[in-house]
Structure 1
Amino acid sequence: MTYCVGLFLQEGLVMLADTRTNAGVDHISTFSKMFTVTAPGERMLCLLSAGNLAITQSAWNRLQDGVFLDQRKQTLLNVTNMFEAARLVGEAIRDVYRADAAMLSAQNIGFDVSVMVGGQIAGGPMRLYLVYAAGNFIEATPDNPFLQIGEHKYGKPVLDRGVRHDTSIDQGIKLVLVSMDSTIRSNLTCGLPLDLLVYREGTHDIALQRRIVEEDPYLRTVRVGWEESLRAAWLGIPSPDWEYVQQQKTTSEKESAA
């Protein structure tokens, strides 16, 4: 399993992926699930993948070699807009399905894959899509400014409460790291190191791409700060005034006095 998250903000994109890949407790490996396609000043695309590693790698290789779309062989370097980029990724996944799905099914292996596609191509708007195993896709919007793939449930609450379309990139970086750290804390199938990418709208180039390891001082600051803030928050909430609680409090006070 894996966890990847992408934020669609007014200022740009923030995309983060873990690198843990496992096929049982004896087969845990590190593989990057982030792929980039760039032509500085003209286009910047970032892909995050989740699911069966063989499927995602096969789809990525097809995208590099070229995939037939609208009767033309195309790559992510020559599609004309982000919508076409999402369609091309979907078609690459369908190509893998046509080639491998029957044999995977014969081995009782499901066709499990999802890919997040974010970026901008000159002449068009910045976009963030989530492409499913069937090759269809949805798009992030100002009303729903984040997408997740993989083991998303542990990291979703902080995003639901914190992310808005007008959230700054700096705040977005903190939010995705808290979301990822919450996931890693609760699910051993996700783990460090992490791959982070930041894109600023209109630049058509990567603003920041960083591998974050366990010893990263900023990750430690986020982790400790979030835990301490959470503890302070719930300790600071007034206790309920229900009768049972008051009885327990009175009993405790009497025992302390004795």
Structure 2
Amino acid sequence: MTYCVALKLREGLVLCSDSRTNAGVDHIASFRKLSVFDIPGDRVIFLQCAGNLASTQSVINILRHGIQHEERHILNVGSLFEVAELIGRTIRHVISRDEGQNQGIDFGCNILVSGQIKGDEPSLFHVYPQGNFIEATEDTPYFQIGESKYGKPILDRVITWETPLAKGIQCALISMDSTLRSNLSVGMPLDTISYPANLLDNPGIRRLDENDEHFLKLRTAWSDGLKNLFNELPEFF
């Protein structure tokens, strides 16, 4: 399994994904779930994937192939909405192709599509296995896919459209840390992106491993803060 979270804030986008794809006593595998497509100065598109690994890799490979060989592809359409449409159509194609070959296997996948195309504001979409999708708004400024339940409470309490980008990345990492502590199927390393609105370029993926100094300080401060707050709660009779 995996966990991915994406925030759409006034100042830009925040993305965080783990890299665990399989977990067991004798087999643990990691694959990057965060992909970037960009034309500097014109557009940048981020994809975060959860679900069947074969399906998600097929979708990414078809999209990359389309850039080279198709007349209409994600790097030349006019809006991120159209990008989400293309990705939804690709997901439907991949799942329809593979489901007929193997009975009883879930080939479903979810993809978070975010980024910015010149002339538009940054956008964030959740594309479902059925190929349909929804867009993040000021009222609902974040999406999660994968093992979402453990990291949701902190997002609900903290994240709003007005949350600064720097606080957004802190909150996304705390959300991820809560999931890491509660679910073995989500694991390090983590891939993060902090994208300021109108940059129109790839800001670079920052990879955090289990020894990353800044992540360790953040998770320790959060854990200690929760314990201290709990100890200060008024008694309940």
Verify same fold: TM over 0.5: yes
The equivalent of 1:214 in structure 2 is 210
Alignment partners' CA distance in 1, 2:78 and 2:96 = 26
Q: Which string of whole-angstrom CA distances, capped at 9 and with x for unpartnered residues, describes residues 98-149 of structure 1? A: 2111113x2x101220000000001222110000000000111100110000
Alignment partners' CA distance in 1, 2:206 and 2:99 = 35
The equivalent of 2:41 in structure 1 is 41
Q: How big is the shift at 1:33? A: 0.3
Q: Which string of whole-angstrom CA distances, capped at 9 and with x for unpartnered residues, describes residues 5-38 of structure 1? A: 0000000000000000116543320100000001
Output the TM-score relative to the length of structure 1.
Answer: 0.88
Alignment partners' CA distance in 2, 1:183 and 1:130 = 20
> Contact 2:95–2:108 at 8 Å: present in 1 too?
no
Q: Which string of whole-angstrom CA distances, capped at 9 and with x for unpartnered residues, describes residues 139-188 of structure 1? A: 11100110000000000000000001000010001000000000000000
Alignment partners' CA distance in 2, 1:231 and 1:28 = 32
One-letter amino acid matched to 2:35 = F
Are 2:92 and 1:94 aligned? yes
Q: Which string of whole-angstrom CA distances, capped at 9 and with x for unpartnered residues, describes residues 197-229 of structure 1? A: 111111111334200011100100111000000
Alignment partners' CA distance in 1, 2:100 and 2:5 = 30
Mapping for residues 75-94 of structure 1, pairs under 5 Å = 75-94=73-92
Q: Secondary structure at the match of 2:217?
A: helix
Mapping for residues 99-110 of structure 1, pairs under 5 Å = 99-104=97-102, 106=103, 108-110=104-106
Q: Which has the larger radius of gyration?
A: 1
Mapping for residues 105-254 of structure 1, pairs under 5 Å = 106=103, 108-240=104-236, 242=237
Give structure 2 stretches of 5+ with no counterpart.
Answer: none
RMSD: 1.3
Q: Which string of whole-angstrom CA distances, capped at 9 and with x for unpartnered residues, describes residues 38-62 of structure 1? A: 1111101100000000000001111
Alignment partners' CA distance in 1, 2:202 and 2:229 = 36
Output the TM-score relative to the length of structure 2.
Answer: 0.96
Q: How big is the shift at 1:65? A: 1.3
> Contact 2:191–2:206 at 8 Å: present in 1 too?
yes
> Contact 1:65–1:75 at 8 Å: present in 2 too?
no
Q: Give the length in aligned residue pairs.
A: 235
Structure 1 counterpart of 2:72, from 74, 99, 107:
74
Q: Secondary structure at the match of 2:216?
A: helix
> Contact 1:198–1:206 at 8 Å: present in 2 too?
no
Alignment partners' CA distance in 2, 1:196 and 1:184 = 15
Percent sequence identity over matched residues?
46
